[in-house]
Structure 1
Amino acid sequence: MNRREEILLAALEVFAERGYTGASIAAVAERVGLTQQGVLHYFPSKDRLLAEVLRLRDERNLDLITLPGESGRITLDTVAAIVEYNEQRRGIVQSFTVLSAESVLDGHPAAAFFRERYGGSRAWMTQVIRAELGDSLPGGVTPEQAAPLLFAVMDGLQLQWLLSPDEIDMSGLFQAFLALLRSGG
């Protein structure tokens, strides 16, 4: 692992523990045995460090999300595999949960990242849902409505799992939600 990646992983932990506003370059530097100036040599600002941490987090999920489903497509089962995989990555889930929630604050440097990420994710999830389930979902829900609901379930389960990991079976509950979607009403 190179020094830059070591700093990013330490920053991911610090942001997960303290949020962006509570984190400091000094705390990241301490984790990797550098001075603040040493960290700033690689990342010229806390905002830039946050941007790279978010990029790294998504990059690490790309390996899983591009697992080929039927004919190389992303499927609802691929998404379920991500939820299951996330049960092994508490720190990554925690950082995502903290940073995404904190990004709703006025002027937060990650706000644009999360708006774009959720917008793009809703678009591809709509396509996945339509490809697998068609336009007729339980309760008259459209694929365009089901996509943000699916992400709400994922994010809500992650939060509850972080708070009560012994009580919340994140992947099992997500599979149950998919069964509801697949039930055809």
Structure 2
Amino acid sequence: MPRSVSTNEALRERSRERILGAALEVFAEKGFEAASISDVTQRAGVSRGLVTYYFPNKQRLAAELLDRWLDGIGAILDLRGSADEKLAGIIDGTLMAAASTLPVQRLAISLMMQPGTHPVFAEVEEAKSVRVAQIEDAIRSIFTARGAADPAVEEMLLRATLEGVTVKLAIYPDTFPVEAIRRRLHAQYGLPEPSTPLPIQSPAVDRLRAK
């Protein structure tokens, strides 16, 4: 009996997700430049033809992964509550995402910074320009509500700070004191001290060292 349209669509989506998952693992392990489509094919357990059907080259795979990363950042648009509660939610949500999805964060940072793949990031960011602007405006509105003199600068500073924290966490995953940094950020912005720690690993160390 022929498969239904919905069944075929589900199988295609499953294959696509398997390929993307394999690409994330391979890129995170080998680095984008060193990884090959053949590596992704072997890790996914599918034919090369199927991989190239969905993604003609590595750049398209990277673009899809970056697209999803940007969508993850867009979750801040769903935050509810007062300006302080939203700001605390952005800080905590970013730290949680950085700690719990480290391979994704490390890959996104790498693709953004490497000369060979920065244009891919720029292309994805441009394609999502409306969404990115919504994220920026949402953060700026929080600082406007808090009485900031220059909400745009505050938005850029917050994002730069959190992205810097993510970079350090990606480099020093075993010694980065996430909880201590979180509480320092809350204090820096005059937010109430968190009543409970984040449910993630957070060693109590005073020096960052790679292991």
TM-score normalised per structure 1: 0.76
Q: Which of 80, 90, 97 does residue 79 from structure 1 map onto?
A: 90
- Measured in 2, the distance between the counterparts of 1:179 and 1:43 equals 45
- Is 2:142 the counterpart of 1:134? no
* Cα root mean square deviation, aligned: 3.1
> What is the aligned length?
175
Number of the residue aligned with 1:163: 171
- Against the structure 1 CA distance between its residues 147 and 178, is the aligned structure 2 distance closer, same or farther, given a 3 Å change threshold? farther
- Is 2:138 the counterpart of 1:124? yes
- Against the structure 1 CA distance between its residues 108 and 92, is the aligned structure 2 distance closer, same or farther, given a 3 Å change threshold? same
Partner letter of residue 148 of structure 2?
A: D
Q: Which of 76, 90, 97 does residue 65 from structure 1 map onto?
A: 76
Gaps of 5+ in 1: 137-141
Q: CA deviation at 1:61?
A: 4.9
Identity, % of aligned pairs? 25
Question: Between Structure 1 and Structure 2, whose CA radius of gyration is higher?
Answer: 2
CA contact (8 A) 1:16 1:94 kept: yes
Q: CA deviation at 1:23?
A: 2.7
Partner letter of residue 158 of structure 1?
A: T
Q: Which of 141, 149, 154 does residue 146 from structure 1 map onto?
A: 154
- Against the structure 1 CA distance between its residues 19 and 128, is the aligned structure 2 distance closer, same or farther, given a 3 Å change threshold? farther
- Against the structure 1 CA distance between its residues 19 and 114, is the aligned structure 2 distance closer, same or farther, given a 3 Å change threshold? farther
Number of the residue aligned with 2:198: none
- Measured in 1, the distance between the counterparts of 2:111 and 2:143 equals 27
Q: Deviations over 1:136-184 (max 9, x none)?
A: 4xxxxx221111111111111111112222332235414422422338x
Q: Which has the higher helix share?
A: 1
- Measured in 2, the distance between the counterparts of 1:23 and 1:144 equals 38
Q: CA deviation at 1:29?
A: 0.9
CA contact (8 A) 2:140 2:152 kept: yes
CA contact (8 A) 2:67 2:124 kept: no
Partner letter of residue 144 of structure 1?
A: A
1:23 aligned counterpart, secondary structure: coil
- Is 2:46 the counterpart of 1:38? no
TM-score normalised per structure 2: 0.68
Q: Which runs of 4+ in 1 moved over 6 A?
A: 115-118
- Measured in 2, the distance between the counterparts of 1:170 and 1:65 equals 20
Q: Deviations over 1:24-78 (max 9, x none)?
A: 211111110123222012222322222211222333455x53544217x981122
